[in-house]
């Protein structure tokens, strides 16, 4: 069978985060199968792929929220997958993350939410210094003045922006975003895209963004990686991905079902035509 992996586009020497031969299994389920990846400094790397293909599992390994079944993870040339939780907590201060599960704390104000990671890692001696820092972070996401609001009084897009301000509270070098635009309408999603770009350009951050939103991927990516069946099947700039010869990549980026998926649906007796309701065809 043809080997379905693509040569890694980046050079290991440029890597701020490097994954070598990462395999992750949950029981018999092999989610990542010998994946190697070099995340380049100052660039935005976007990870795409169908739901359940292992995107979240992959980025959790970048900060060792999951440990590899085999393989290695490096941060700035230091191996980190074998460190203790205590040592990892120190390494993680160099990262910001905006995870799907990482919602804001509802009982804390916007300012307290942003202060949270600072309090976790540092003893705060001067309150005014922290207030200034919160202000700067909120200015970066266009929400200065919202310090005393509570999450319940913010829109979905504003909550995401506060979460982003919190993710950059410790001046991280690398920011990991897991589906940052999911659940937002196209305009609010685009505000998040613009912020990701602004932070990457303005602060020189290295960003890794998981998304299945191709509009967002094309807009923000320096490089796009597609995961499929535990492997990286495409790796390159947006142009490379758009013109990729692999039909699996084309089906995904154009949002079509594969022949295989269609055959399964047909066999299952679902009649796609008659199941369409008038509302579906309005879209």
Ligand X SMILES: Nc1ncnc2c1ncn2[C@@H]1O[C@H](COP(=O)(O)OP(=O)(O)O)[C@@H](O)[C@H]1O
Query: Is residue 217 a contact point for ligand X (CB under 6 A)?
Result: no
**Whether the Cβ atoms of residue 180 and residue 211 lie closer than 8 Å to each other:** yes
CB of 176 to Mg ion, least distance (A): 12
The C-alpha angle 77, 118, 130, rounded to 5 degrees, equals: 130
Q: Give the C-alpha separation, 220 to 193, whole Å.
A: 7
**Whether the Cβ atoms of residue 147 and residue 135 lie closer than 8 Å to each other:** yes
51 binds, among ligand X, Mg ion, none (CB under 5 to 8 A by kind): ligand X
CB of 168 to ligand X, least distance (A): 23
Query: Is residue 56 a contact point for Mg ion (CB under 5 A)?
Result: yes
Query: Is residue 31 a contact point for ligand X (CB under 6 A)?
Result: yes
Query: Is residue 200 a contact point for Mg ion (CB under 5 A)?
Result: no
Site string for ligand X, 9-28 (x = CB under 6 A): -----------------x--
Instruction: Tell me the two tokens of residue 5.
Output: 């992996």
226 binds, among ligand X, Mg ion, none (CB under 5 to 8 A by kind): none
- The dihedrals phi and psi of 178, each to the nearest 5 degrees, come to -110, 110
Query: Is residue 143 a contact point for ligand X (CB under 6 A)?
Result: no
Sites for ligand X among residues 230-259 (CB under 6 A): none
Site string for ligand X, 48-87 (x = CB under 6 A): -x-xxxxxxx------------------------------
Q: Give the C-alpha separation, 55 to 119, whole Å.
A: 30
Sheet of strand 206-210: strand arrangement: 95-98, 174-178, 206-210, 44-48, 223-228, 231-236
Which residues of this chain interact with ligand X, rule CB under 6 A?
A: 26, 29, 31, 49, 51-57
């Amino acid at each position: 069978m043809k080997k379905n992996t693509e040569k890694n586009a980046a050079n290991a020497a440029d890597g701020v985060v490097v994954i070598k031969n990462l395999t992750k299994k949950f029981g018999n389920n092999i989610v990542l199968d010998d994946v190697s990846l070099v995340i380049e400094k100052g660039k935005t790397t976007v990870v795409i792929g169908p739901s359940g293909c292992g995107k979240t599992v992959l980025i959790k390994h970048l900060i060792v929220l999951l440990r590899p079944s085999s393989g290695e993870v490096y941060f700035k040339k230091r191996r980190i997958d074998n460190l203790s939780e205590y040592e990892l907590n120190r390494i993680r201060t160099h990262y910001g993350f905006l995870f799907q599960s990482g919602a804001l704390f509802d009982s804390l104000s916007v300012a307290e939410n942003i202060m949270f990671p600072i309090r976790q890692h540092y003893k705060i001696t001067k309150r005014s210094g922290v207030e200034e820092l919160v202000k700067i972070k909120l200015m970066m996401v266009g929400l200065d003045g919202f310090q005393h609001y509570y999450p319940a009084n913010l829109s979905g897009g504003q909550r995401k922006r506060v979460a982003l301000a919190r993710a950059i509270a410790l001046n991280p070098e690398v920011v990991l975003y897991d589906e940052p635009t999911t659940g937002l309408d196209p305009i609010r999603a685009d505000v998040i895209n613009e912020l990701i770009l602004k932070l990457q350009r303005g602060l020189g951050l290295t960003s890794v963004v998981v998304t299945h939103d191709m509009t967002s991927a094309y807009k923000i990516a320096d490089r796009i990686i597609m995961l499929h069946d535990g492997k990286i099947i495409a790796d390159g700039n947006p142009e490379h991905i758009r013109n990729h010869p692999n039909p699996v990549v084309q089906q995904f980026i154009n949002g079509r079902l594969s022949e295989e998926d269609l055959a399964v649906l047909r066999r299952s007796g679902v009649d796609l035509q008659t199941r369409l309701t008038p509302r579906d065809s309005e879209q």
